[in-house]
Structure 1
Amino acid sequence: MIILKFLKKYFISMVFLIIGLLLFIFILRQSGKENVKSETRIINHEIQRLNKMIVIEQNYSSFKTKKYNNFNPKYFDFLNKNIVLYITAMAQVTYDMKKMKIEVDSAHKTVHILSIPDPELHVYPDVEIYNMETGFLNDFSKSELNEVMEEGKKDITKEVQKSNIQSLAKKQLISNLKELYNMVKLNNWKIIDDTPYAGQIQSMKD
């Protein structure tokens, strides 16, 4: 009889212990799921912030002189003509980050950057006649003015292409991506980056 009472108490204790253990596991799992949901929201928010357009702008200016020495300047310089242009340009390099392809896998706690759009360079030139000297009976024709102004636009576009504006935009892109890297690592997630920028970002100090 005593043994039966002991077994009964033991059995009841074991049942309560198992129920308590299962309840603890359930709460632990629910807590883990909530943590993953919270981490996913934080990372998605960082991605949305990254999806904004990256724009770097710079202004450029230069003078261009073109001489039309159709006649020997030693004897007939009064027949020659020349023009000085003042050329300005506003240049932009943009990354349309809305076109970035990225996947968030909350089950495996992984962020996968598949691709990033190429940068786009936009140049908006403006040309003004700063000084113009016409020769005797040798005025500028409309076609000559149009030609020299188009040359001026091409010259400043080449100057923009040789400048550091594209490298500045790239630095800004990498800096923004680094912030995403840091956020992912802070939440103990893994990041996979298939873009050409991965090596440069990983080599940066936190």
Structure 2
Amino acid sequence: MSQQTPPKVGFFGALSEFRKWAVLILIGLVLSFGYKFFTTKSETSSIEYDTNLIQQQIKNVGKLVVTEGHFAEVLTYKDRKETYIPGLSFDKKALVVINADVTVGFDLSKVKYDIDAKNKTVTITNIPEEEIKISPDIKYYDTESSTFNEFTGDDYNKINKLARENLKKKIDKSTLKSNAKNRLISELSKILILTSSMGWTLKYDGEVVNNNQEFQYKIKG
């Protein structure tokens, strides 16, 4: 029984076989790199996404935070004009009742910050001062004056100034300012929550803010 000799593969046949494997390997590499390219987020894209998200969050809290209160004040205004005659004077007086609506607010659109994308750090560089608005309703009762010492515009300006000064003292003693700051901290804490969840660092007043208590301490200082 004769044994068949396997066909010889010529040079060109071997070259064709090599090309086939080369093409298959090339296709495999292209598919592999393509998969990684489309499924793996680049570091640059990630940083840009994080930066845009943080900027949007800061923009979202950039509103006017307002705390409202109502105060009442009763005062007696007196003015005396002396004469050259001993014991003779011209007096005027009035009972003044003031009801005032007061707002204490923070305009968070004025918050200034720096974003260091490379080091993943957000630094709040400035928080605006509180804005206090007093809207008094002033009523006069039991007004008494004389011909030689009548009420004038200067008197009403003095009463208005005095009323505002007294109201400011009441506001300072009230919880209105502290309540406004609590609302301020609550809004800014949203930035802290976001940066922490994304692995970024938040700084204020030159120091890292790790939690809401530290934020509260630094702002109320």
- The interval holding the TM-score normalised by the smaller chain is 0.5 to 0.7
Deviations along 1:136-171, one digit per CA (max 9) or x if unpaired, are x79963258434454233222322233222111111
Choose the corresponding residue for 1:142, options 151, 155, 159.
Answer: 151
Contact 1:80/1:138 (<8 A) preserved:
no
Q: TM-score, normalised by structure 2?
A: 0.64
Partner of 2:194: 183
Choose the corresponding residue for 1:44, options 25, 37, 55.
Answer: 55
Partner of 1:193: 203
Structure scoring higher RCO (CA < 8 A, sep ≥ 6) equals: 1
Q: Percent identity at matched positions?
A: 21
Which sections of structure 1, spanning at least 5 residues, go unmatched?
A: 71-78
Deviations along 1:92-134, one digit per CA (max 9) or x if unpaired, are 2222222211234555544332222122222233321133467
Partner of 1:97: 108
More divergent stretch after superposition (38-47 vs 94-103): 38-47
More helix by share: 1
Distance (whole Å) between structure 1 residues aligned to residue 41 and residue 163 of structure 2: 67
Residues 91 and 22 (structure 1 numbering): CA distance in 2 closer, same or farther, change over 3 Å? Answer: same
Choose the corresponding residue for 1:203, options 181, 189, 213.
Answer: 213
Partner of 2:26: 15
Partner of 2:84: none
Contact 1:84/1:131 (<8 A) preserved:
yes
Q: TM-score, normalised by structure 1?
A: 0.68
Deviations along 1:157-201, one digit per CA (max 9) or x if unpaired, are 322233222111111110001122223333x24132224897595
How many residues were matched structurally? 193
User: Quick check: which has more Rg, 1 or 2?
Assistant: 2
